Structure 1
């Protein structure tokens, strides 16, 4: 169950790129072409976030490069838009889906670093999942995104998503399951000891 939740968490956030939001008011004004680029990336961020929260997969995929590479939290790698669509359908639309609803809020650490027609950004996100089994969790995550400009459009070329493996809701669930399992083992051992003890005493008196 924990591995599945990690996979889900990883998948659904794959669609969100990292981009710049706003400059420090005290920073020098950027050249017009650079400012226009950051404005385009801000618009991309907002459209992707809205599409994710509305579960509009076609709109999400329209912002991905055809050869997009996405690395999930459980080290699964998805290459290409159709591979990501299939993963999304499996987790949110298929008969064995595990996610009922997801909403996300993405923040960036700073302005996207521009390298000509390539941009690299990083940040954090707070992701709220409601699963089909009734589980309701919020995951704090980190991401890095690479974007490329083709013509007048910026497209997401790579996205790497991760969370703290030592401190997150999934790990807490695992710890809880472990505690329950240990308790059941302990009770089972006590019952077995009781039965064996009674049986031994009966044999000793006959």
Structure 2
């Protein structure tokens, strides 16, 4: 009787093992995808980043600008990083993933999410580190994983740019206060001598 139960369970155990193995293979492909994308970002070579972008991708960057496809991503990156009107001198990012990609469509579609530790040096001379959150939908077509959509965001209420703006406001307020005291003192002395 035990042998019959084992034989009855064998097909289910085989299917479960096959499913787990298939998912592990997909997650290994996605780990490789992440490493290769990070390497392309480190090189800051736009031509090496574009193959990771699906032709119909929609990408929303941390400045709330959305672009479409590899050409849109390339134009955005060129505008931000190249030419006389560029905004960013240097940038770097380290991507972290919160958990395994959530798979759909038999392992051909995945939703991934996590955070990143970012560094920016702006052309205005401001340098800062920030923490970002991101989500991405990945699709596998013709044996290749690509980003179908991605969204990057920063904390609206606690971020380095807001902190810098607050600090500059305090400096301006302090300077204005001291200047007002000095002008008040000088004008008092000037009017008291006349009287």
Judged with a 3 Å threshold, the aligned counterparts in structure 2 of structure 1 residues 135 and 29 are, in CA distance, closer, same or farther, namely: farther
Q: Aligned residue for 1:81?
A: 70
Larger radius of gyration: 2
1:122 to partner: Cα distance: 0.6
Q: Aligned residue for 1:185?
A: 176
Are 1:175 and 2:166 matched, yes or no?
yes
The 10-residue stretch of structure 1 (101-110 or 192-201) with the greater mean CA deviation from structure 2: 192-201
Unaligned runs of 5+ in 2: 1-16
Taking the TM superposition and a 5 Å limit, the aligned residue runs for 1:119-138 are 119-138=110-129
1:72 to partner: Cα distance: 2.5
The Cα RMSD (Å) is 2.3
Take 1:132 and 1:74, find their aligned partners in 2: how far apart are those partners? 16
1:194 to partner: Cα distance: 4.0
Are 1:154 and 2:164 matched, yes or no?
no
Query: May I ask how many residue pairs the two structures share in their alignment?
Result: 177
Q: Choose from 47, 53, 57 the match for 1:58.
A: 47
Q: Aligned residue for 2:11?
A: none
Q: What CA deviation, in whole Å up to 9, does each residue of 1:62-85 have, x standing for no partner?
A: 110112112223322222221221
Higher helix share: 2
Unaligned runs of 5+ in 1: 1-27
1:191 to partner: Cα distance: 4.0
Q: TM-score when scaled to structure 1?
A: 0.75
1:193 to partner: Cα distance: 3.1
Take 2:139 and 2:193, find their aligned partners in 1: how far apart are those partners? 79
Identify the structure with bigger relative contact order (alpha carbons < 8 Å, sequence gap 6+).
1
Taking the TM superposition and a 5 Å limit, the aligned residue runs for 1:2-81 are 31-81=20-70
Q: TM-score when scaled to structure 2?
A: 0.79
1:192 to partner: Cα distance: 4.2
